[in-house]
């Protein structure tokens, strides 16, 4: 990610989420590439709460992943935050990918993807996951909507809002409700 802010023009809204909207945009000057621009708005309260932790994690992880530039991880190109009165506007500029896996699969005519295409999609997805896991990153929200497919058939893993970096401390953190855990993990039956 460069220190110089990207200039772009918004072309169309392509999605909407809980905190904002995603736009298709074109870079002005430079490479004239297509971009995905996430514009998010967070209300600042009197306690000073601003950007939710999941967004901070997503930006931090995408910046970290950007240093390695893996072909199967979506690239964060720019990020900026602007405080406005009682709100904070956060803008993320990412590489633009045409569609998610659900949309891609819905466009495939019967009888579906060929065996070779399925193999290619899975190999790319597994290469991306291997890269994340090698770097101790757990995505924790992998689903068709978070797997993007470019017009050239490139698979990119996106949306790192729930992701975590695995550490020794996290490994010791319970991952289930106590009463649902087995007795060996101190579940309700062990009491």
Centroid of chain to Cα 182: 33
Q: Which residues pair with 137 in a beta bridge?
A: 165
Read off the CATH number of the domain in which 133 is found: 1.10.510.10
For 71-97, b/e burial (b = at least 16 CB within 10 A) is ebbbbbbbbeeeeeeeebebbbbbbbb
> Is 44 a domain residue?
yes
The structural domain count of the chain equals: 1
> Is 176 a domain residue?
no
> Is 191 a domain residue?
no
For residues 161 and 36, the model is more confident at: 36
For residue 39, say whether it is annotated as part of any ligand binding site.
yes
> Is 186 a domain residue?
no
Q: Domain span at residue 123?
A: 8-170
> Is 2 a domain residue?
no
Where are the alpha helices (H) located in the chain, listed in sequence order?
53-68, 101-106, 115-134, 168-171
> Is 181 a domain residue?
no
Give the percent of the chain with pLDDT over 90: 51
The model's pTM: 0.78
> Is 160 a domain residue?
yes
Which distant-in-sequence residues (6+ apart) come within 8 Å of 15 by Cβ?
Answer: 21, 22
- pLDDT tens for 85-127 read 888 888 999 999 999 999 999 999 999 999 999 999 999 999 9
Write out the catalytic residue numbers. 141
- pLDDT tens for 4-45 read 677 999 999 998 877 789 999 999 988 899 999 999 888 876
């Amino acid at each position: 990610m460069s220190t110089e802010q990207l200039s772009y023009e918004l072309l169309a809204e392509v999605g909407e989420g809980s905190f904002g909207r995603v736009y298709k945009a074109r870079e002005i000057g430079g490479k004239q590439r297509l971009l995905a621009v996430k514009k998010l708005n967070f209300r600042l309260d009197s306690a000073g709460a601003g950007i939710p932790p999941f967004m901070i994690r997503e930006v931090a992880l995408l910046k970290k992943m950007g240093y390695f530039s893996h072909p199967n991880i979506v690239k964060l190109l720019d990020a900026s935050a602007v405080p406005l009165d009682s709100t904070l506007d956060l803008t993320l500029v990412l590489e633009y990918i045409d569609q998610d896996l659900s949309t891609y699969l819905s466009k495939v005519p019967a009888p579906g993807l060929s065996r070779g295409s399925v193999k290619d999609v899975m190999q790319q997805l597994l290469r991306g996951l291997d890269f994340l896991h090698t770097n101790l990153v757990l995505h924790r929200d992998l689903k068709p909507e978070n797997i993007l497919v470019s017009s050239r058939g490139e698979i990119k893993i996106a949306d790192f809002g729930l992701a975590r970096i695995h550490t020794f401390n996290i490994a010791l953190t319970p991952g289930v409700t106590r009463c649902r855990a087995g007795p060996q993990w101190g579940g309700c039956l062990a009491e």
